[in-house]
A and B are shown apart, each in its own frame.
Chain A
Amino acid sequence: MSDTTIDTTVPVSGHIRRRLDNFLPALMLSACVILFWKAVIRAFRVSAFVLPAPSAIVVSLVENASALAIAAKATALEVLFGFVLSAVVGIAVALVIVRFERFGRALYPLIVLFQNVPKVALAPIFILWFGYDLAPKIVLIVVIAFFPVAIDMLAGLQSVEPAFVLLMRSVGASKGKIMLRVRIPHSLPHLMAGLKVAITFSVIGAIVGEFAGANQGLGYVIQFASTQLDTPLIFAALIVVSLLGLAFYYVVEFAERVFVPWAPKFDPIQSAG
């Protein structure tokens, strides 16, 4: 509570300092982990084939920079298309369930059931159906990532205060009007929470899709590197995947701040303490 009020009053320089304060502990912890990593490799003489030293990974990153960049671009494209389509499908499913209640009652358990199918096992089938290119990856991502969007959007649509619905009804507002003016805007903070989960799922979906069969992308690089026993390249690709996921996540969070400024600010550390 007090945090948000401070946020609006501190000057810009203070704001930047606060952000730095937020990142500094994470950077320091990362540095400690890397040092520990290096120490373990030195102490136990671990071969680069099992676990490469951080420096070897950096070298691999630099050497394969252009290949990794091309692969990252391919994966990013899959994530982007897959994520957008997941969002569209998730939102549509939620709206349909709320709007057509009877159909929703039939649909909902099927969706939950489907959610329990291991998606990894579906990847080969999608390759079989949709070929080797972008399409099977996008389908796989949608299948994995639409679920959190649909569930969170649904929760948002349904969690409007009953008193407000009464108030709308008291002035003769139709169901459609209540939906458009109250339920949908009210669901946006929930939707954004769902999208944040969906974007990380999308990255996972893209990599899984590439594992199942691909001729480009970071998942393909990882597989290729493992056949070559090039462990540093595997780790280098993993780092790029992580950074890609991080970047996508913050884009969604930025969108939340711009489009849903009234969303409750989520601070996992504070809310846990």
Chain B
Amino acid sequence: MNVGAMNSAVAKSVTRQTVGPAAAAALVHILVRGLAVDFIAQGRRQRALNDINLAVLKGSFVSLIGPSGCGKSTLLKVMAGLIIPSEGEVRVADISPQEAVKARLIGLVFQEATLLPWKNAIENAAFLLMTADAAMKRSEAMDRAAMMLRLVGLDDAENKMPSQLSGGMRQRVAIARALALEPEVLLMDEPFGALDAITREEMSECLLDIWERTQKTVVLVTHSIDEAVFLSREVHVMGTGPGRIIETLPIALTHPRTEDSYSDPAFTVAENRLRGLLIEGHKRVRR
């Protein structure tokens, strides 16, 4: 049975007409229906994403994986309200992404930590929160930032400047900065893409720990099959020309996941299946 089709079916069937808004919001946190995004490139209209349907359940951890140019980052930016779709509908907690942003429901993490070099770790972690909420007292924002730095394991680096932090630590600050907004949804665009292999695994475990503790809805864009399998409950495999979801793969690994999960047979099964799908998509492009 094609799971992707099933997921699309869920997305299509969950409408505000058939189910009450509150019930739909409780079940489906992010809903994307019939989404298409066109870009104007060199004077020509190009379709970056076509007919995307997906539903992310509340408290779920979902990954988007696919080759470069499949539009996975674009899809994430649509969910974050940073790109207006050309067709279709996107709902976050049953409101538009733009409204969700205003309600501070969305936290963003990018590949680069993008910390301000003139502020230390805790000021960086508090920065977005203070920007988002001008009325908030500085001390309150700093308290919350300190709490989030503890959550990401940076208790003793509060006063360090970004130039004194390693790549992994900077990315932890970036995650703390997103969490300080106390969002319901965490959208992450290859957050560990610039880190070395071991730091990456460390960060994966850190993220998993945060997710298990905070029960936020997480959408992760990644290139790494390992990362997608280890972290996600569900992986959407995307393809190019134009960008679309090829298949949706539920990950049957048991929770809580630990280092031992890597050697779980279910891990290998999911990993091979994902690799197969990605190679298949790759071949299709070359033809």
Decide: B114 and A161 in contact? CB cutoff 8 A.
yes
Give Cα A163 to B81, complex, Å: 14
Min CB distance, A192 to chain B, in Å? Answer: 13
Min CB distance, B125 to chain A, in Å? Answer: 13
Q: Residue-by-residue, is A133-166 near B (CB-CB < 8 Å gives 1, otherwise 0)?
A: 0000000000000000000000000000101101
Residue of A nearest to B109 (CB): A167
Candidates A4, A166, A168; contact of B131 at CB < 8 Å: A168
Candidates A161, A170, A188; contact of B81 at CB < 8 Å: A170
A161 surroundings in chain B (CB, below 8 A): 112, 114
Q: Is B128 an interface residue (CB 8 A)?
A: yes
A169 surroundings in chain B (CB, below 8 A): 82
Give Cα A264 to B111, complex, Å: 22
A181-198 with Cβ < 8 A to chain B: 181-182, 185-186, 188
Decide: A172 and B132 in contact? CB cutoff 8 A.
yes
Q: Is A177 an interface residue (CB 8 A)?
A: yes
Min CB distance, B250 to chain A, in Å? Answer: 29
Q: Is A262 an interface residue (CB 8 A)?
A: yes
Decide: B106 and A166 in contact? CB cutoff 8 A.
no
B106 surroundings in chain A (CB, below 8 A): 170
Min CB distance, A231 to chain B, in Å? Answer: 51
Give Cα A121 to B102, complex, Å: 57
Q: Is the interface of B mostly helix, strand, loop or mixed?
A: loop
A188 surroundings in chain B (CB, below 8 A): 118
Q: Is B262 an interface residue (CB 8 A)?
A: no
B106-120 with Cβ < 8 A to chain A: 106, 108, 110-112, 114, 116-118
Give Cα A171 to B101, complex, Å: 6
Decide: A167 and B116 in contact? CB cutoff 8 A.
no
Known contacts A166-B82, A171-B181; is-contact A181 B114 (Cβ 8 Å): no
Q: Is B78 an interface residue (CB 8 A)?
A: no
Decide: A171 and B132 in contact? CB cutoff 8 A.
yes
Give Cα A185 to B127, complex, Å: 14
Decide: B110 and A163 in contact? CB cutoff 8 A.
yes
Interface residues of B, CB < 8 Å — how many?
22
Q: Is B159 an interface residue (CB 8 A)?
A: no
Q: Is A16 an interface residue (CB 8 A)?
A: no
Q: Is the interface of A mostly helix, strand, loop or mixed?
A: helix
What would 10 more interface pairs be, CB under 8 Å, given A166-B108, A170-B82, A171-B101?
A4-B163, A164-B116, A166-B80, A166-B82, A170-B101, A171-B128, A186-B116, A188-B118, A262-B161, A262-B163
25 contacts between A and B (CB under 8 A): A161-B112, A161-B114, A163-B110, A163-B111, A164-B114, A166-B77, A166-B80, A167-B114, A167-B128, A170-B80, A170-B81, A170-B82, A170-B101, A170-B106, A171-B104, A171-B128, A171-B132, A173-B132, A177-B131, A181-B131, A182-B116, A185-B116, A188-B118, A262-B118, A262-B161
Known contacts A168-B131, A171-B132, A173-B131; is-contact A262 B80 (Cβ 8 Å): no
Give Cα A188 to B110, complex, Å: 24
Give Cα A185 to B124, complex, Å: 14
Give Cα A173 to B132, complex, Å: 7
A245-273 with Cβ < 8 A to chain B: 260, 262
Give Cα A172 to B133, complex, Å: 10
Residue of A nearest to B130 (CB): A181
A80-108 with Cβ < 8 A to chain B: none
Decide: B102 and A167 in contact? CB cutoff 8 A.
no
Give Cα A37 to B132, complex, Å: 66
Q: Residue-by-residue, is B89-115 near A (CB-CB < 8 Å gives 1, otherwise 0)?
A: 000000000000110101010111010
A260 surroundings in chain B (CB, below 8 A): 118
Decide: B118 and A172 in contact? CB cutoff 8 A.
no
3 closest A-B pairs (Cβ-Cβ)? A171-B132, A164-B114, A163-B110
Give Cα A152 to B213, complex, Å: 46
* Most interface-central of A161, A163, A177, A181 (chain B CB within 10 A): A163
* Most interface-central of B77, B104, B106, B114 (chain A CB within 10 A): B114
Give Cα A216 to B99, complex, Å: 67
B112 surroundings in chain A (CB, below 8 A): 161, 163
Decide: A167 and B118 in contact? CB cutoff 8 A.
no
Give Cα A180 to B87, complex, Å: 35
Min CB distance, A180 to chain B, in Å? Answer: 10
B110 surroundings in chain A (CB, below 8 A): 163, 166-167
Min CB distance, A258 to chain B, in Å? Answer: 13
Residue of B nearest to A186 (CB): B116
